[in-house]
Amino acid sequence: EVHLVESGGGLVQPGGSLRLSCAASDFTFSNYWMYWVRQAPGTGLVWVSRINTDGRSTSYADSVKGRFTISRDNAKSTLYLQMNSLRAEDTSVYYCARGTYEANNCFDLWGQGTLVTVSS
Binding site for another protein (CB under 8 A): 44-47, 50, 59, 61, 95, 100, 102-108, 110-113
Residue 55: φ, ψ to 5°: 85, 0
| Residue number, 6 or 12, with CB nearest to another protein | 6
In the complex, least distance from residue 66 CB atom to another protein, rounded to whole angstroms: 16
3-state secondary structure the chain: CCEEEEECCEEECCCCCEEEEEEEECCCHHHCCEEEEEECCCCCEEEEEEECCCCCCEEECCCCCCCEEEEEECCCCEEEEEECCCCHHHCEEEEEEEECCCCCCCEEEECCCEEEEECC
Shortest CB 38 distance to another protein, Å: 11
Q: Which is nearer to another protein, 18 or 97 (CB)?
A: 97
Least distance to another protein from the beta carbon of 92, Å?
Answer: 13
Of 3 and 13, which CB lies nearer to another protein in the complex structure?
Answer: 3
Specify the residue, 86 or 96, whose C-beta has the smaller distance to another protein.
96
**CB of 87: closest distance to another protein in angstroms?**
19
